[in-house]
Amino acid sequence: MFAKIGSATALVMAASLMPALSQAQPSVSSYPNKPVRILVGYPAGGPTDLTARLIAAKLQASMGQSFIVDNKPGAGSNVASEMLAQSPADGYTLMIAASQLTWNSVLYKNIRYDALKSFEPISRLMSAPAVLAINPKVQVKTVSELVAKAKKEPGKYTFASSGPGSVPHIAGELFKSKASIDLLHVPYKGSGPAVTAVLGGETDMYFMTVLSAMPYFKSGKLLPLGVTSNRRIPQLPNVPTMAEAGVQGVELDSWNGLFAPAGTPKEIVEKLGREVRKILEQPDVRKSFEEQGATVVGSTPEEFSAYLKKEVTQGTAFARSIKLSLD
């Protein structure tokens, strides 16, 4: 038989449990009260790393704690994504990811995370189209001319990518599919080698970021044929969209977004989201992204979640339609 517990004893027992409960639950009101780590699945100096360092510095200034960028490159950013999925859901490990996150979740069957289930989306930070850059030796000046040549000689022309499942890879596959042409995909270990390859004529074309492509367009070493957005961009006002250039459906944005592990308290996610949206309104931040050919987004967690679901749904349908898988 169990003895009755007196009220005084109950109070003592409740008090003894409070420290354990307080350790188990992250303190939302005082968050952050220690340094926060931001994982990046790419090497230092790349576009996603630059975004992360800008946002980290601004968060540190506004929230009064260190936000430390931790580069964990490898496996097409899967190393960092898997680390975040396995991290404590307390708001002290975050990740700034690129759009490859959703494509990896679509294309790989044996990864240890799910883009829609393993993370709490905080905010989509920016969005930027790619530009189709071609080596002048191909001797075309428009997308229509390139398509005509590719149809005459199927399999002759090549497109570079920064790795399987990367945005340049997906853009190339999308272009092939929508233009009904046969191009050979040549993957490289990162954007640097891919750029070197197309500059040297080892490959014929590459869907590049505007920031990395501009110097080569100005020098004439590469030619811009079309952008993968639904409207022309200010940095390349004379370059048509792919639709204007004659190939419909080649619309693809590269984005960066801030994530926390699944289960992170809603209050922390919302607090971080509010701070990030304020940061993205700052003139110097907006200018920094515009110089990269990017557009500031600053979505709410709910808006970002809905966007990711749409991306995964559309990506899954496209991958199945061309039987594309990376396992």
Q: What is the CATH number of the domain that holds 74?
A: 3.40.190.150
Q: What is the 3-state secondary structure (H, E, C) of the chain?
A: CCCCCCHHHHHHHHHHHHHHHHHHCCCCCCCCCCCEEEEECCCCCCHHHHHHHHHHHHHHHHHCCCEEEEECCCHHHHHHHHHHHCCCCCCCEEEEEECHHHHHHHHCCCCCCCCCCCEEEEEEEEEEEEEEEECHHHCCCCHHHHHHHHHHCCCCCEEEECCCCCHHHHHHHHHHHHHCCCCEEEECCCHHHHHHHHHHCCCCEEEEEHHHHHHHHHHCCCEEEEECCCCCCCCCCCCCECCCCCCCCCCCEEEEEEEEECCCCHHHHHHHHHHHHHHHCCHHHHHHHHHCCCEECCCCHHHHHHHHHHHHHHHHHHHHHCCCCCC
Count structural domains, the chain.
2
Each residue's pLDDT, cut to its tens digit, for the chain (327 residues) gives: 444 445 445 444 544 555 444 444 556 789 999 999 999 998 898 889 999 999 999 999 999 999 999 999 988 899 999 999 999 999 999 999 999 999 999 999 889 999 999 999 999 999 999 999 999 999 999 999 999 999 999 999 999 998 888 899 999 999 999 999 999 999 998 888 999 999 999 999 999 999 889 999 999 999 999 999 999 999 999 999 999 999 999 999 999 999 999 999 999 999 999 999 999 999 999 999 998 889 999 999 999 999 999 999 999 999 999 998 887
- Asked whether residue 6 is assigned to any structural domain, the reply reads no
108 and 141 in a single domain? The answer is: no
47 and 117 in a single domain? The answer is: yes
153 and 198 in a single domain? The answer is: yes
Under 8 Å CB-to-CB from 318, ≥6 apart: which residues?
Answer: 174, 177, 324
122 and 262 in a single domain? The answer is: yes
118 and 264 in a single domain? The answer is: yes
156 and 104 in a single domain? The answer is: no
Q: 227, 244, 274: which is the final residue of a domain?
A: 227
- Asked whether residue 248 is assigned to any structural domain, the reply reads no
145 and 214 in a single domain? The answer is: yes
**Domain limits for position 154:** 129-227
- Asked whether residue 246 is assigned to any structural domain, the reply reads no
207 and 272 in a single domain? The answer is: no
40 and 57 in a single domain? The answer is: yes
211 and 63 in a single domain? The answer is: no
- Asked whether residue 70 is assigned to any structural domain, the reply reads yes
- Asked whether residue 295 is assigned to any structural domain, the reply reads yes
Amino acid at site 310: K
- Asked whether residue 243 is assigned to any structural domain, the reply reads no
